């Protein structure tokens, strides 16, 4: 398949994309979190095409993207007052809400669940695409299953060129990690996937919020409530190890730097291609040819925005071993570490 690639600012780009979505085709598009791989969420065939383009197991449900508050009624059968409060507080924005689904939402879109994931993105191109097409767009992140989510159109082209009808290039995304998913179907709100909106942000609006236990520590006996959280994700091809010093608040110390430099020397001496993940201000501390930086220390949002691009760079240079500093697990740091720990297969060396 030839994939049409256009900038969202090209004259005919959005209208072309709308036509493709309306006729059941697939269009990748920018959102404020990561790029999405969109199809008609109410069309079972489109959802099947999404699973196949991503190489994704079809029991891993899709998020449906909407542009108006009234669209929720078309998808959800029960909307509690608390759920409404939540949506009004954070939409449009990087929040996905799980609600009981209406029968019109195909089982293929929800991976056979009786609930549906709904999100109203704030990215102007995404909002325009939903409004102008009139399609409620089912969209997972636009990466091949298992790879880091795409934060630039170039990442999407790497994974999806030739597999989908169109890629809309709206430049690099702002946030860089996926939306926070909150299950509103039970008595208490539960975070199923941490994201840019933190537990503290949610609690300011909802009162007590829980976190799905299965996503805090890996435990083979616990099954995450968001099916996608059970898969190995975001992983570079090389072996990633996180090195941290639990005796300091920042988790970073001279001992961490020394240990990473020692691991780098070991790799170089054995002819292993090695890379280091650190922050911009600490780059000069490492003796390694391949230093990949993630924003600035202490500035979580800049780290989030760079994380997936950095993991992809590890693949681009063919790194076989990668050593990363750690980040504190507060607030946005909790979401960043959720992704980084998964990418590392939870391989952590405590100094
Ligand atoms: O920021 C985002 O959420 C991005 C952009 C494109 O909007 N989308 C995204 O989609 O990250 P995806 O498919 O990569 O991740 C969706 C997650 C998966 O872990 C999936 O299992 C979970 O949401 N999910 C979807 N529907 C669900 C449901 N009904 N109940 C529980 N989890 C659900
Ligand atoms: Mg994804």
Ligand 2 mean position, distance from CA 282 (Å): 30
The average confidence (pLDDT) of the chain is: 96
Is 229 a pocket residue for ligand 1 (Cβ < 6 Å)? yes
- The pLDDT assigned to 232 comes to 66
Pick the residue whose CA is nearest to atom 19 on ligand 1. Answer: 228
Ligand 2 mean position, distance from CA 20 (Å): 22
Q: Which residue has the higher pLDDT, 59 or 110?
A: 110
- The pLDDT assigned to 230 comes to 78
Atom of ligand 1 nearest to the CA of 195: 1
- The pLDDT assigned to 58 comes to 87
Ramachandran bin of 295, using left for φ above 0, alpha for ψ from -120 to 50, beta for the remaining angles: left
Is 174 a pocket residue for ligand 1 (Cβ < 6 Å)? no
Is 95 a pocket residue for ligand 1 (Cβ < 6 Å)? no
Mean pLDDT of 269-275: 98
Is 96 a pocket residue for ligand 1 (Cβ < 6 Å)? yes
Mean pLDDT of 40-56: 97
Q: Are 217 and 110 spatial neighbours (Cβ–Cβ below 8 Å)? A: no
Is 56 a pocket residue for ligand 1 (Cβ < 6 Å)? no
Ligand 2 mean position, distance from CA 253 (Å): 33
Mean pLDDT of 278-283: 96
Considering only 148-162, 230-244, 270-284, which range has the smallest mean pLDDT? 230-244
Residue 217: band (very low, low, confident or very high) from pLDDT cuts 50, 70, 90: confident
Cα dist from 110 to 21, 98, 118, 334, whole Å: 19, 11, 11, 27
Ligand 2 mean position, distance from CA 97 (Å): 16
Q: Are 161 and 167 spatial neighbours (Cβ–Cβ below 8 Å)? A: yes
82-123 pLDDT, tens per residue? 999 999 999 999 999 999 999 999 999 999 999 999 999 999
- The pLDDT assigned to 212 comes to 96
116-172 pLDDT, tens per residue? 999 999 999 999 999 999 999 999 999 999 899 999 999 999 999 999 999 999 999
**117 Cβ contact list (under 8 Å, min separation 6):** 61, 62, 63, 64, 96, 97, 98, 110, 181
Q: Which range has highest mean pLDDT (156-160, 214-218, 246-250)?
A: 156-160
310-336 pLDDT, tens per residue? 999 999 999 999 999 999 999 999 999
3-state class (DSSP) for residue 243? strand
């Amino acid at each position: 398949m030839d994939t049409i690639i256009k900038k969202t600012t090209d004259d005919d780009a959005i209208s072309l994309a709308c036509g493709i979505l309306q006729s059941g085709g697939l269009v990748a598009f920018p959102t404020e979190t990561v790029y999405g791989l969109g199809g008609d969420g109410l069309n079972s065939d489109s959802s099947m095409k999404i699973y196949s383009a991503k190489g994704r197991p079809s029991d891993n449900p899709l998020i449906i993207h909407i542009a108006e508050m009234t669209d929720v009624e078309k998808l959800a059968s029960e909307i509690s007052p608390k759920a409404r409060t939540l949506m009004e507080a954070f939409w449009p924005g990087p929040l996905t809400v799980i609600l009981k689904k209406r029968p019109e939402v195909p089982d293929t879109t929800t991976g056979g669940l009786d609930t549906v994931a709904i999100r109203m993105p704030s990215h102007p191109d995404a909002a325009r695409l939903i409004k102008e097409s009139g399609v409620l767009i089912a969209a997972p992140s636009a990466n091949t299953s298992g790879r880091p989510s795409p934060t630039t159109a170039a990442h999407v082209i790497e994974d999806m060129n030739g597999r989908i009808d169109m890629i809309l290039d709206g430049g690099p995304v702002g946030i860089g990690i996926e939306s926070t998913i909150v299950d509103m179907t039970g008595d208490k709100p539960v975070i199923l996937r941490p994201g840019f909106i933190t537990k503290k942000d949610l609690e300011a609006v909802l009162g007590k919020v829980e976190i799905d236990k299965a996503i805090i520590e890996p435990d083979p006996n616990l099954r995450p409530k968001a099916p996608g959280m059970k898969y190995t994700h975001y992983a570079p091809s090389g072996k990633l190890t996180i090195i941290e010093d639990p005796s300091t608040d920042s988790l970073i110390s001279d001992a961490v730097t020394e240990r990473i430099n020692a691991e780098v020397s070991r790799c170089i001496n054995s002819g292993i291609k090695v890379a280091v993940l650190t922050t911009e201000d600490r780059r000069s501390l490492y003796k390694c040819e391949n230093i990949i930086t993630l924003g600035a220390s202490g500035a979580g949002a800049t780290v989030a925005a760079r994380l997936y691009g950095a993991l992809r760079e590890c693949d681009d240079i063919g790194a076989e071993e990668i050593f990363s500093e750690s980040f504190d697990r507060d607030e946005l740091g909790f979401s960043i570490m959720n992704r980084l720990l998964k990418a590392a297969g939870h391989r952590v060396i405590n100094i």
